[in-house]
Structure 1
Amino acid sequence: MKRYIFLTLFLWVSAPAFSQWPPYPLYLTDECTFEFPCNYLKLEDGANNIWQIGTPLKTNFNSAYSPTHAIVTDTINPYPPSNHSSFILKAPVCYNNTFITFWHKFNTDSLIDGGYIEASFDKGQSWMNVIDSYTVCLGFMANNLYSTFDTLKGGVKGFSGTSNGWIKTELWWVWYFMPKWVEPDTLFLRFNFISDNKLSNKDGWIIDDIMQYFFELVGAVPENEKTGLSIAPNPLKEYTTLTISNSYGRNLSLIIYNQLGQVIRKMEAIKENEIQIRRGSLKPGIYFVELLDDSGIIAKDKLLVE
């Protein structure tokens, strides 16, 4: 059974934007399949940390979701008693609308042992259960996340029991609806596993294929009133031209980000319909271009640099 968690205010404000769900288009910013080193994942220090990356060889966890590796609470042995293990995932694009998915299974003592996810919006200085993200980002939604009634020992909200197969959990943060400013590129997620002092002989938690995207909100603006953005040639070799349509009377600015969400170039008070971008120091890769007016982001595109 799928479980959706969302904020009513968010849906009321943005209903035209989400006639399709999940929101499209999605731009992949990072993937962690555990077949290769993951750029934004870090195991927490400590001798008792049982998270391991490898081929699972357990009773219930005998294969990864996509062969052959996953991250598991020990690839061979049942999880031990009195344990608290964690790893941290950094979301590289939280200046925009962030979408994170992962596949997982769990096998624990119900309502006692299990896993939960925390979010930090200040680079790990403070943490909250991810289900409470709406207190920072009003546009938080989740699919197949635990609810406020699913609790572990100590009343912590989390996954427990037996999942009966692989589950795909999806998390959305829509930064257009923030009650307070969040500095770009500061979203961290911490995946925690906890157990009480009794041996369970169960497998714990296994996670695979963590995918990170950003997505665009598609508003209900009439087609003839939209401001368009096109880029040609794309990919860029030496230079490219950005063409802006329906820009008359607007106070426009343009920002180019790299895949880490860092601002590479910024232009303000744009008057021309065409802007020439020279390669200069841009390294090969994918860049994200945003066109803004006084109301916010009005157009986006990807720029490829060869």
Structure 2
Amino acid sequence: MTTVETSIDQPRVRVSDVTHYFEDPAGNITEASKAVDDVSLDVAPGEFVSLIGPSGCGKTTLLNMLAGFFAPTTGSLQINGKPVRGVQSDNVSFMFARDTLFPWKTTLANVTFPMEVGAQRVPSSERRDRARRLLERVQLGGAEEKYPHELSHGMRQRAALARTLAGNKEVILMDEPFGALDAQTRVLVQDEFAKIWEQERPSVLMVTHDLTEAIGLSDRIFVMSHRPAHIKAVYEVNIPRPRVILDLPNYPEFHELYAKLWRDLRPELTEDETPAADHLEEASA
């Protein structure tokens, strides 16, 4: 069993001894259908944690269980000390790798939506003001009245990020949130998201394949093994905040941590994944 020792007394998120199997096409459960293997981890109030690991290892499966989309086969999940049973909405926002904007709503209406539902409804004028501010911060000022089909894929993903932040939830689950953005926009939006997180301090659990992104945004980074996923290593990010993504190479700690993460991650990758990861390694040199 993989256990991560922690000093967190009252975690915002707790994953305890979680294992999950998917049924095979015949409806059977076998060792080959195991996606997550005895994972335990905590996320403190206001902490930013990233999960890195090879594609298909089970990282997103773990996020989906925390969101309540399905239950673990064994083990338990808690948010704010309460068991996760069914879809979480009042205290949890989930940002998918691909946007899930409502096609019949404008960009502004998509962003205001989380403030219109649930236990923490916001007055109309206040939610529109907050939505406009968030759209400005993700470089979408002027796109408020456009519909999703009028936006590029990257613009839709930025709108989805603004909608995620608009809910002002205590926990944000993120699955490759910046992966659809071009390189220049990605850096700008990462830095803006970091500023918003610094101000509001939700607990964040993010899945990413980008090691620089993980280091730039996180307090701790969990390295996951190949499928079935277990925690291979955990690292503290000891680079002072606030951080600027483009300034990270100025810190010796960045290069040291990048090398450690890559050393742990590389053996877990398939041959198909290795060239892309090699490119990451060269870029950090």
Tell me the TM-score range normalised by the shorter chain: under 0.3
Instruction: Name the TM-score, length of structure 2 as normaliser.
Output: 0.28
Which entry has the higher C-alpha Rg, 1 or 2? Answer: 1
Structure with more helix by fraction: 2
Instruction: Name the TM-score, length of structure 1 as normaliser.
Output: 0.26
Structure with more strand by fraction: 1
